[in-house]
Amino acid sequence: MNTFEKLYNDLKRKYGKPGGQWSLWCKRPKTKSEKEEVVIEAILTQRANWKNVELALNNLKKAKINSLRDVYNLSEEKLAIFIRPSGFYRAKANYLFHLSEFIIKNYGSLEIMKKVDTEELREQLLALKGIGPETADSILLYALNKPVFVIDEYTRRLVDKKKLAKNLNYDFLQNLFEKNLKKDYRLYQDFHALIVIDGKSGM
C-alpha cells in the first residue's frame, strides 16, 4: 500500500463515511434529481460557506426550482435573487444559467452527457465562463461519476503538510493522486470529501 492509499485509510478510519454536506455528493447511487442538485451546488459553493449555499438552495427549492431545466427557464435576474445568500450572486447566476443552458441544449440530460468521453467533457466545461478546474472536476466526479480527482485548497494544504510534493500546481497534483490510486470514482469521491472534512476540522 502506497502513501496515498494509506492516507485514505487513515482519514476513512478517523472520520468514517463522509457525512453532513457530503452525504449527498458521496451518495451512491444518486437519482437524476440529486445529480442535478450537485451541479447547481458546484457553482454555488465556489468560495462560499456551506451554510450560505444551503440558504440559497432553500430559496430555489421553495420556488420549485429543482432541475437544470428549471434554472434554464428562469431569467438570470430572477435566478440571482434566489441564490443571493451564496455570495457573488450576479456572477454565479450568470455562470449557472449558461452551464444549465449548455447541458440542456447540448445533451438534454446528465445521463446522456455522461456517455461522452471524460476529457472532451472536461474541455467543454472549462470553456464555460466561471468554470475552472475544480468546478469542472467536481461536476465530472460527483454528478457524472467520472474518475477524475478533485484538487482544492485543502488538498494543497494537506499535500504541503505531509510533504507529498513541492509542486502544488492543479494538474500536477491531480495526476499525482490519480497515478497513485486505483481509478475508481467511488474512492475519488470519498477521498476528496475526507480531505476537506479533515482540513476543516482545524489542525
Partner DNA sequence: CACCAGGAATGTA
Partner DNA sequence: TACATTCATGGT
Binding site for DNA (CB under 7 A): 21-22, 25, 41-42, 45-52, 55, 84-85, 87-92, 128-136, 138, 152-154, 193, 196, 200
HSE of 38 in the Cβ direction (CA atoms, 13 Å)?
Answer: 27
Rounded distance between C-alpha atoms, residue 109 and residue 164, angstroms: 39
Q: Which is nearer to DNA, 58 or 106 (CB)?
A: 58
Q: Which residue, 6 or 17, has its beta carbon nearer to DNA?
A: 17
Task: Give the span between the Cα atoms of 166 and 173, in whole angstroms.
Answer: 10
Q: Whose grid coordinates read 459553493?
A: 45
Least gap, CB of 73 to DNA (angstroms): 21
Using the minimum distance from each CB to DNA, give the nearer residue, 6 or 75. Answer: 75
Q: How far is the CB of 179 from DNA (least distance, A)?
A: 21
Q: Whole-number minimum distance, CB 154 to DNA, in Å?
A: 6
Helix (H, G, I), strand (E, B) or coil at 116: coil
The three grid cell numbers given for residue 39, joined into one nine-digit string:
451541479
Under a CB-based contact definition with an 8 Å cutoff, are residues 82 and 97 in contact? no
Nearer to DNA, 6 or 78 (CB): 78
Contact predicate 80/99, CB 8 Å:
no
Q: Shortest Cβ distance from residue 197 to DNA (Å)?
A: 9
Closer Cβ to DNA, 23 or 33, answer by number? 23
Give min distance, CB of 54 to DNA, in A: 9
Closest by CA to 86, choosing from 23, 130, 126, is 130
In the block, cell 467533457 appears at 121
